[in-house]
Structure 1
Amino acid sequence: MTTPFAVEVFQNEYLAYGHGEVHAVVTVRGAHGPVGPLSQGGPAELAEVIMLDCSGSMAAPQTKIIEMRRAAKAAVDALPDGVWFAIVQGSGIAEAVYPTRSELVQADKRTRAAAKAEIGRLEPDGGTAIGRWLTRTRELMATRPNAIHHAILLTDGQNGERTSEFDEAVAACVGRFQCDCRGVGADWRVDELRHIATALLGTVDAVRRPQDLAADFRSMIDTATNRAVDRVSLRVWTPRNASVRFLRQVAPHVEDLTGTAVRVNELTVDYPTGAWGSESRDYHLCVTVPAREDDVEMLAARVNVVVADQVWCRERVRAIWTKDIDLSTRIAPEVAHYTDQTELAQALQEGLQARRAGDEVTATIKLGRSAQLAHQSGNESTYRLLQHVVDIEDPSTGTVRLKRNVDTIDEMVLDTRSTRTVRVNR
């Protein structure tokens, strides 16, 4: 049986005497179509729930609710026949407006038309209780337990629930479905949607104009419905006296997976990565091993791709100690590139936070470093977004000046997209 994944490891395996930190970039490529256990009984079942903010603020301006309806209808039109779906109206409560019964319905010509009719009747009213929207979505997803579960969440405002209530709702959804989050307008909080997207293995983005919602919704549906392999994890084995210091996804965006580890046994941990289609992702793995003072080689880690508890492929990460300085000081280009991309994401977020706090000195230093890293690594999209916030005088040195009049939405777009990376040139 053909494997659904291919794995490559890029590293400089040589360490200087007395050093005990091993770095490697692991590239995982997913094949299209269900494989192995998922192929039994036909194609993978897909489930989609679209959560729409219908709070009172969606009426100001009126274009928000109008474009939200248009985007939701476009998303429904993009659903292939057979996908199970529902539309949730979110305000201070969460209500499934289609179907009205407590289950999902399969997409076909009739159900898509009925869903779009209900979407057309949505009106803004009430507050914002995002945790309750997520809880209702989790309940709906539970009616199709064997499906690949994906949701879209759109809001224009800040959550009105107690922090504990919100956090508990997010935690209860972990592993139940993936969720892509979108904010429209400039009155929502990036940290709230990033918290959801991080926990639920999704994306977060700021939609600059309500008119852009429809294209974005169609894109999210297309990506979600082309994923055919679910419950995929990276499994990392390390020998005794060694441990994973961190594991980060570094392409197509930066996401620290270290805290998501699920222990399999004393030497092995799994890192859930959600559902996959025909795509490629890069991960930066750092393993600490006992330092040596002699010419010796050891296996520092084994990286496996696991689908529904079945191991499909394995690659090794090695450590070789040497007194040859030329060998031990080389940095693998992949490791160097993604180390810079991770620093870029962190510097952007810290710079924007300092700017909001009125700390202009820190903001200038951090955003200047961001401009330098974006320029050096060829991250042109981030470089262009930075120019909305700072005047870049010399990108090679990171010399910038803070702009005085910055639209809030420009800052939010830069914040949400701060973790997007460019792939290393190989």
Structure 2
Amino acid sequence: MTSAENKGISVAIDQNAFLAEGVRTVDAIVTVEATGDLVVSVAPPPRVEILIIDTSGSMGAADKFAGARRATLAALDVMPDGTRFAIVEGTDKAQVVFPHRGSSAVASPQERANARRALDKLVPHGGTAIGTWLGLSRLIAQQHPGAMVHAILLTDGKNEHEAPERLAEEIRQSIGVFTCDCRGVGVDWEPNEVRPIASALHGTIDTVATADLLAQDFAATMESSMEKAIPDLTMRVWTPVGAKIVFLKQVAPFIEDLTARRSEVGPQVGEYPLGSWGAEDRDYHIQLELEPAAPDREKLAARVSVLAEGDVLGQGLVKAAWTTDTDKSAVISRRVAHYTGQAELAQTVQEGLTARKQGDFATATAKLQRAYHLASESGNENTAKLLLSVVDVVDERTGTIRLRNKIDPADEMALDVRSTKTARVRKEP
């Protein structure tokens, strides 16, 4: 492993640089770590928090609206005084229900009390048009140029009152304007409608089975937002002439494909947005294709830099050296192998659940059995536990499983939504 640190950002490269003669593919795990020293040294910009609450008619069932109200107040309670905030009511329309004037309020004991009274007046009604919620939130964000704007979006149902194209366009226009963590309560919402929001807006997605758990989740999500002091980091990748980036994926703490988010900034140079950061580390898998060199020759396959506002904070090098020594070229980086397996695990879970919903139980069984093997072998205990809520292990020795006849929809939803969370593997010394 090679690493470099500069100005509070470390970039470490984990790979086997030795390739067999004629091989064109290079894989590496890039670990980016923002240190506490960097976070402390950064003067964070003004913050704005937007709480987007589904108040459609379906929220009146199962105490969901009361839970959403408690969750909103819990998020406000952990928000530091001085933070600007707004509450958006989402139905088939969207409106700011607090503050009553202006685009945002400043958190204080008095304003929290005022927000509580505004929430008391709301009643569930109407339908669901999530794109309009994003559009209004974007307008709020644009009233605070230079601010770090974050939203929490809660829904309980399907996006039934607008065309999918409208939602997709609102997501597109919101990229880079604000970040958004998404939560679904109950089992009637559609992860495939909400997942693109969290993905494009650098947020998380999760399911909350019952309304009584919302307050704890919202408070934790708000606290996590408050820990983000760096508005945006960017990964810049230079490759030599003739080289091609096959993909660039975040692989920990969860899987997110960044390949299509590349913007060209110069000859053989592209940049990928990494979102806002606190004191944390994330792992990325980069795969490249390049022209092979002669044996015993080494090439620089990529230069990976991490930037903030155009300033390079850290850098790492991906190398390739061709050899006729099979003992060297046969070694597979433990971390590359691990995260390749984690990506397969996430994809296999999704394929298995899709097959089950389509009534193809043979494919579903095969896929989820493969997923159980991958989860067990890689130490992903969380996904293995989630899988055991939808399958039974028939033979522990062989790992043979069968689908359960009756599956709690909440368990299936949790497996669907959380399948992209990965088990970390420690860096090589």
TM-score over 0.5 for the alignment? yes
TM-score range, shorter chain: over 0.9
Going from structure 1 to structure 2, the CA distance change for 1:397 and 1:343 (only over 3 Å counts) comes to farther
Is the 1:235–1:270 contact (alpha carbons within 8 Å) kept by the matching residues of 2? yes
Aligned to 1:319: 320
Aligned to 2:135: 135
Is the 1:263–1:270 contact (alpha carbons within 8 Å) kept by the matching residues of 2? yes
Partners of 1:65 and 1:91 lie apart in 2 by 13
| 1:129 alignment partner AA | A
Aligned to 1:116: 116
Going from structure 1 to structure 2, the CA distance change for 1:33 and 1:276 (only over 3 Å counts) comes to farther
Q: Deviations over 1:314-364 (max 9, x none)?
A: 110000000011110111111011011110000000100000001111101
Secondary structure of 2:286's counterpart equals strand
Going from structure 1 to structure 2, the CA distance change for 1:244 and 1:395 (only over 3 Å counts) comes to farther
Going from structure 1 to structure 2, the CA distance change for 1:288 and 1:150 (only over 3 Å counts) comes to same
Partners of 1:207 and 1:408 lie apart in 2 by 12
5 Å-filtered alignment, 1:33-44, equals 39=42, 42-44=43-45
Aligned to 2:90: 90
Aligned to 1:169: 170
Q: Deviations over 1:87-113 (max 9, x none)?
A: 000001101011123412221222222
Secondary structure of 2:331's counterpart equals coil
Cα offset for 1:214?
0.6
Aligned to 1:334: 335
| 2:184 alignment partner AA | G
Partners of 2:337 and 2:403 lie apart in 1 by 28
| 1:136 alignment partner AA | L
Secondary structure of 1:336's counterpart equals helix
Per the normalisation by structure 2, the TM-score is: 0.95
Aligned to 2:374: 373
| 2:114 alignment partner AA | A
5 Å-filtered alignment, 1:246-395, equals 246-394=247-395
Partners of 1:241 and 1:165 lie apart in 2 by 39
Cα offset for 1:397?
4.1
| 1:269 alignment partner AA | G
Would you say 1:19 and 2:19 are equivalent positions? no
Cα offset for 1:116?
2.0
Cα offset for 1:35?
6.5
Going from structure 1 to structure 2, the CA distance change for 1:394 and 1:421 (only over 3 Å counts) comes to farther
| 1:51 alignment partner AA | I
Partners of 2:105 and 2:364 lie apart in 1 by 49
Is the 2:305–2:315 contact (alpha carbons within 8 Å) kept by the matching residues of 1? yes
Is the 2:295–2:321 contact (alpha carbons within 8 Å) kept by the matching residues of 1? no
Partners of 2:102 and 2:374 lie apart in 1 by 49
Partners of 1:402 and 1:282 lie apart in 2 by 33
| 1:180 alignment partner AA | D
Cα offset for 1:266?
1.8
Would you say 1:228 and 2:232 are equivalent positions? no
Per the normalisation by structure 1, the TM-score is: 0.96
Aligned to 2:78: 78
Cα offset for 1:164?
1.2
Secondary structure of 2:354's counterpart equals helix
Aligned to 2:11: 7
Going from structure 1 to structure 2, the CA distance change for 1:65 and 1:27 (only over 3 Å counts) comes to same
Is the 1:183–1:207 contact (alpha carbons within 8 Å) kept by the matching residues of 2? yes
Cα offset for 1:287?
1.0
Partners of 2:167 and 2:284 lie apart in 1 by 30
Partners of 1:234 and 1:49 lie apart in 2 by 27
Q: Deviations over 1:9-54 (max 9, x none)?
A: 1000000011011101011111247669x94xx5432111010000
Partners of 1:263 and 1:323 lie apart in 2 by 36
Q: Deviations over 1:239-273 (max 9, x none)?
A: 11002110110100011110111111121111101
| 2:301 alignment partner AA | A
Cα offset for 1:82?
1.7
| 2:157 alignment partner AA | G
Aligned to 1:182: 183
Q: In terms of mean alpha carbon deviation, does 119-128 or 410-419 score higher?
A: 119-128
Cα offset for 1:423?
0.6
Is the 1:33–1:277 contact (alpha carbons within 8 Å) kept by the matching residues of 2? no
Aligned to 1:155: 155
Cα offset for 1:292?
3.2
Cα offset for 1:158?
0.4
| 1:353 alignment partner AA | T
Is the 2:9–2:38 contact (alpha carbons within 8 Å) kept by the matching residues of 1? no
Partners of 2:266 and 2:245 lie apart in 1 by 14
Q: In terms of mean alpha carbon deviation, does 290-299 or 174-183 score higher?
A: 290-299
Q: In terms of mean alpha carbon deviation, does 102-111 or 166-175 score higher?
A: 102-111
Partners of 1:247 and 1:397 lie apart in 2 by 34
Is the 1:5–1:312 contact (alpha carbons within 8 Å) kept by the matching residues of 2? yes
Q: Deviations over 1:160-211 (max 9, x none)?
A: 2111111111111011111111101111101011111111111111111111
Is the 1:32–1:228 contact (alpha carbons within 8 Å) kept by the matching residues of 2? no
Q: In terms of mean alpha carbon deviation, does 93-102 or 372-381 score higher?
A: 93-102
Is the 2:180–2:198 contact (alpha carbons within 8 Å) kept by the matching residues of 1? yes
Would you say 1:410 and 2:414 are equivalent positions? no
| 2:156 alignment partner AA | D
Aligned length: 422
| 1:392 alignment partner AA | V
Cα offset for 1:308?
1.3
Partners of 2:192 and 2:8 lie apart in 1 by 35
Partners of 1:338 and 1:391 lie apart in 2 by 26
| 1:6 alignment partner AA | S
- Structure 1 residue ranges without an equivalent (≥5): none
Partners of 1:237 and 1:394 lie apart in 2 by 49
Is the 1:372–1:396 contact (alpha carbons within 8 Å) kept by the matching residues of 2? no
Is the 2:39–2:278 contact (alpha carbons within 8 Å) kept by the matching residues of 1? no
| 1:69 alignment partner AA | R
| 1:115 alignment partner AA | A
